[in-house]
Structure 1
Amino acid sequence: MNCKQFNSISLEEVLLSLGHYPTKQNEKEAWYLNPFASESQASFKLDKRINAWYLHSEGVGGNNTDFMKKYLNTSVNEILDWAQKQNFSSFHRQRQIIKSEPNYRIDEILDLQNPNLKHYLQGRGLSLKVYDYIKEVRFTIGSKKLYAIGFENLSGGFELRNAFYKGSLLKKDCSLIHLSSNGQGKSNIQDRDVRVIAVFEGFMDALSFIELQKSFAGDILVMNSIALLNKSVEHLKNYHHINLFLDNDTAGIKCKSEIIKSFPEAKDHSGIYSNHKDLNEFLIHRMKNNVSNKTAKQSEKFPQQDKQHVRNQEPEIKNSNGFKRKR
Structure 2
Amino acid sequence: MNCKQFNSISLEEVLLSLGHLPTKQNEKEAWYLNPFASESQASFKLDKRINVWYLHSEGVGGNNTDFMKKYLKTSVNEVLDWAKKQNFSSFHQQIHIKKSEPNYTIEEIIDLKNPNLKNYLQERGLSAKIYDYIKEVRFTIGSKKLYAIGFENLSGGFELRNAFYKGSLLKKDVSILNLNSKVQDISNFQDKNIKAVAVFEGFLDALSFIEMQKSFTGDILVMNSIALLNKSIEHLKNYSDINLFLDNDTAGIKCKSQIIKLFPEAKDHCGIYSNHKDLNEFLIHRIKNYAVNKSRKQSEKFPQPDKLEEIKQETEIRNSNSFKMKR
The structure where helix makes up a greater share of residues is 2
Helix, strand or coil at the partner of 2:126 = coil
TM-score by length of 1: 0.83
Mapping of residues 108-119 of structure 1, within 5 Å: 108-119=108-119
Counterpart of 1:23 in structure 2: which amino acid?
T
Q: Is 1:283 the counterpart of 2:283 in the alignment?
A: yes
- C-alpha distance in 2, partners of 1:127/1:78? 41
- In structure 2, relative to structure 1, the CA distance for the partners of 1:47 and 1:109 (3 Å cut) is closer
- C-alpha distance in 2, partners of 1:161/1:94? 15
TM-score by length of 2: 0.83
- In structure 2, relative to structure 1, the CA distance for the partners of 1:142 and 1:174 (3 Å cut) is same
Residue 59 of structure 1 and its aligned partner are, at CA, apart by: 4.8
Q: Is 1:34 the counterpart of 2:34 in the alignment?
A: yes
- C-alpha distance in 2, partners of 1:278/1:241? 21
Report what 2:326 is aligned to.
305
Counterpart of 1:279 in structure 2: which amino acid?
L
- C-alpha distance in 1, partners of 2:137/2:43? 46
Q: Which runs of 5+ in 2 are unaligned?
A: 294-310
- C-alpha distance in 2, partners of 1:187/1:49? 32
Please tell me whether the aligned partners of residues 87 and 167 of structure 1 are also in contact (alpha carbons under 8 angstroms). no
Task: Name whichever of 82-91 and 265-274 sits farther off.
Answer: 82-91
- In structure 2, relative to structure 1, the CA distance for the partners of 1:299 and 1:136 (3 Å cut) is same
Residue 86 of structure 1 and its aligned partner are, at CA, apart by: 2.8
- C-alpha distance in 2, partners of 1:187/1:27? 28
Counterpart of 2:192 in structure 1: which amino acid?
R
Counterpart of 2:132 in structure 1: which amino acid?
D
Report what 1:67 is aligned to.
67
Counterpart of 1:25 in structure 2: which amino acid?
Q
- In structure 2, relative to structure 1, the CA distance for the partners of 1:75 and 1:110 (3 Å cut) is farther
Cα deviations by residue, 1:201-225 (Å, 9 ceiling, x for unpaired): 0000000101111210110000000
Identity of paired residues, percent? 78
- C-alpha distance in 2, partners of 1:7/1:74? 16
Report what 1:309 is aligned to.
none
Residue 12 of structure 1 and its aligned partner are, at CA, apart by: 2.3
Helix, strand or coil at the partner of 2:7 = helix
Report what 1:311 is aligned to.
none
Mapping of residues 198-217 of structure 1, within 5 Å: 198-217=198-217
Task: Name whichever of 101-110 and 46-55 sits farther off.
Answer: 46-55
Cα deviations by residue, 1:249-270 (Å, 9 ceiling, x for unpaired): 1111111111111111110001
Cα deviations by residue, 1:3-35 (Å, 9 ceiling, x for unpaired): 123223332232233332211234554221122
Q: Is 1:146 the counterpart of 2:146 in the alignment?
A: yes
- C-alpha distance in 1, partners of 2:117/2:96? 29
Helix, strand or coil at the partner of 2:323 = strand
- In structure 2, relative to structure 1, the CA distance for the partners of 1:95 and 1:38 (3 Å cut) is same
Q: Which runs of 5+ in 1 are unaligned?
A: 307-327
Deviant stretches of 4+, over 6 Å: none
Q: Is 1:248 the counterpart of 2:248 in the alignment?
A: yes
Helix, strand or coil at the partner of 1:155 = coil
Helix, strand or coil at the partner of 2:183 = strand
Counterpart of 1:15 in structure 2: which amino acid?
L
- C-alpha distance in 2, partners of 1:227/1:267? 21
- C-alpha distance in 2, partners of 1:218/1:299? 18
Please tell me whether the aligned partners of residues 52 and 63 of structure 1 are also in contact (alpha carbons under 8 angstroms). yes
Report what 1:186 is aligned to.
183
Residue 100 of structure 1 and its aligned partner are, at CA, apart by: 3.5
Report what 2:302 is aligned to.
none
Residue 48 of structure 1 and its aligned partner are, at CA, apart by: 3.8
Task: Name whichever of 5-14 and 78-87 sits farther off.
Answer: 78-87
Residue 237 of structure 1 and its aligned partner are, at CA, apart by: 1.0
Residue 160 of structure 1 and its aligned partner are, at CA, apart by: 0.4
- C-alpha distance in 2, partners of 1:211/1:95? 29
Q: Is 1:89 the counterpart of 2:90 in the alignment?
A: yes
Paired positions, count: 301
Counterpart of 1:64 in structure 2: which amino acid?
N
